[in-house]
Chain A
Amino acid sequence: MHIVTVGLNHKTAPVEVREKLSFAGTRRELGLQRLKALPHLQEAVILSTCNRTEIYAATEDLPGARQSIAVFLNEVQQGVETRLERYLYNFYDLEAVQHLFVVASGLDSMILGEPQILGQVKEALAVAQEKKTVLAYLSKLFQHSVEAGKRVRTETEIGQNAVSISYAAVELARKIFGALEGKVVLIVGAGKMSELTVKNLREHGASAILVANRTYERACQLARDFSGEPVAFEALGETLQKADIVISSTGAPHLVIHYDMVQEVMRARRNRSLFLVDIAVPRDIDPRVNQMDNVYLYNIDDLHSVVETNLQRREQQVKRAELIISEELMNFSNWWSSRQVVPLIRALRDRGDGIRRQELEKLFSRCPDLDEKGKKQVASMTQAIVNKLLHDPVVFLKQAANDGQRAKYLEVMPELFGLDMAKIAQDANAREAASEPTKVLEPVRAPEKANLSLAERAKGGPLC
């Protein structure tokens, strides 16, 4: 059995092409049914996100399967893109496995280490299972890739550190205050950014939201949106005494929060820490307040550079992630080759033993005066002959299983010894089903969107 992957992603194809080949909902289900009907494809899974579409298939005939998938993709996009081939990449066997592991770990994602892909891989398998287009090989492959992705996520820090502005602000707040439970957030002015940040802060436990705006009516309105409490803009000084986290984004052309104001506030706060986020341009908060003890001021550039550093740090984790992937690849390849070779060895032994038993029976019926002791001796002697004869081929098979070069001999084996290949496969499947019931996948959780950077959103980039 072989595995083939044909696909395209954000690196190889522009969005105009990707969107024509994206599979969501019923489109994917129909696609799977179509794939099942095409020749040479024993199993098929469609992995489709906004940044990639990949078809995974298990087949006995690699070129044929490749051809079938190309036909399928051309059908799907109705021949609009005449040069589809040049956007496609192909992976075969272990390369395909490796590719899926890399994808599932988030190493191939647009935002390195983003977490949604793991859920999407699970979902791809779940849909294929539902449509019954997967059997042992691809189920195992996808389950294993989810395991690999999880390992990468837990054993490296590839998914850590915020890579969006609003999330970076939340992380900073958590490094200052620890838990955000019971912390008071003050919004001065309003904007998309403040809204996102407040949402994230609230998710992390911040409870009270205060909203100040130049006009009180607007403050009331915003307070409703944030389900917070409006406060008078004139009383900003007093409000600052209550707030722990301040997000300022007014359109004011001058400073709104002054040095003296903060100094006074800190005295009144008895030096409890104050985290100020100034995302307005021109700035709202006097930059000198950062020099005060227990006051932490971040402006939009600071937050951008935090995100930048975090991305670099994710990149430093790639090497470790790749190590884990190659380990998992090894595990998978062992499973795969043993799956190919174990039934073969079993069939070979059965064949030898079958012949031996037949011949023994013949002999015993021909020589009735053979006593028990003699029978035993003959039996053990024939056993020894069969064992010795099969020893070298078995050793060879075991070695060949983990050696691509000699893998082709595996196919010769059945012919050489007159083994029934179909029966072997059937046997293997039966054993597989008995020993390892296909895991029921846990339900796919709604993907988190928090980590997508704003820049991505602004670009109208995909939200998936």
Chain B
Amino acid sequence: MLILSERFLQLASVSLWASLAVYVARFKAGTPRLAYFGGLLAKAGWVALSVSLLVRSLVQGHLPITTFFESLTTLVWVALTIYLYLDWKWRWPVLSAFFLLLASGGLAYALFLPQEVRALPPVLQVVPPVIRALPPKLQSGWLLLHVTFNFFSYGAFTLSFLIGIQYLWQDYQLKHKKFTIWYDRLPSLDRLDFLNARMINWGFPLLTLGIITGSIWARYAWGTYWDWNAKESWSLFTWLIFAFALYFRDIRKWRGRKAVLFTVIGFLAVLFNYFGINFLFRHPHFFIRGS
């Protein structure tokens, strides 16, 4: 049955790449008809990915978030869901091209991961064996909340990052009076600024909840709310960046470039938290032996 999930994952990857290709073509040609097909393919990708994850959950009896591979595919699903919502609401083919590059890249990366890397736990934590014996229901309840909140915040941050990059590029063109095809295709600064902020407004509370539920889970799982390991410290750092971003935007009334730069940096911190910490601070083989 897992092979079925894998097949659907491949299918999703293929349709996302196809969708990306269509959006790139539409970018070059500027013909709106193409965007429609791109949208169809992206939706098909979403359906295939949903089926893949559903099958996996049913077979394994839990959500696909227990290994690095699974969490990555789930993360792509979450981001894709948010993206489809934005696309439905705002019709924004350029964002599509950007996002689909990331999403299809993410899926392809997940698909081509070597088996031993795939099997890595998503959060590389040393879990004391004693505490693992805790009631699994209690454990998984908080864990589920923690992961859900975090994933949705990551998804929102991903989109705020992409929108932010577009803002910076559009701002640069308007300031330096250098107009490329991007100038035509990208929306206005006001809109980019607004949506960038909106994504942070969604992402930040979710991240906050994610950290809180995570530490509650840690209390049950490891006996301590917070133990200042690399992942946790970095999460706090990320949280602080976004807290500052919101502070400057809402209280100090920063707008435009500086405010957007903050969110871009924030996303890079998230990215490092998700990929970097896992690979840098712990040697992967340790976990294979450990589990």
Binding site for B on A (CB under 8 A): 155-157, 160-161, 172, 174-178, 270-273, 290, 293-294, 296, 298, 302, 305-306, 309, 320
Contact = CB atoms under 8 A, between A and B. Distances in A.
Nearest to A309: B179
Interface centre among A160, A174, A293 (most CB of B within 10 A): A293
B266 interface: no
Contacts of B257: 293-294
A172 B174 CA distance: 8
Contacts of B30: 156-157, 160
Contacts of A177: 188-190
Given A155-B31, A298-B177, A175 B255 contact: no
A211 B13 CA distance: 57
Nearest to B176: A290
A305 B255 CA distance: 28
Nearest to B192: A178
Nearest to A297: B175
Contacts of A273: 189-190, 255-256
Nearest to A295: B175
Chain B interface size, as a band, is 20 to 34
Nearest to B257: A293
B256 A175 contact: no
B175 A175 contact: no
Interface of B: 29-31, 170, 174-175, 177, 179, 183-184, 187-191, 253-258
Contact of A271 (B184, B190, B256): B256
A293 B258 contact: yes
A289 B255 CA distance: 17
Contacts of A293: 255-258
Contacts of B253: 270-271
B177 A271 contact: no
A245 to B, nearest CB: 13
Nearest to B170: A175
Given A272-B255, A305-B177, 19 more contacts: A156-B30, A157-B184, A174-B188, A175-B170, A175-B189, A177-B188, A177-B189, A177-B190, A178-B187, A178-B190, A270-B253, A271-B253, A271-B255, A273-B189, A290-B175, A293-B257, A293-B258, A294-B255, A294-B256
A302 B178 CA distance: 10
A262 to B, nearest CB: 15
A341 B127 CA distance: 85
A23 B29 CA distance: 38
Contacts of B31: 155
Contacts of B184: 157, 160-161
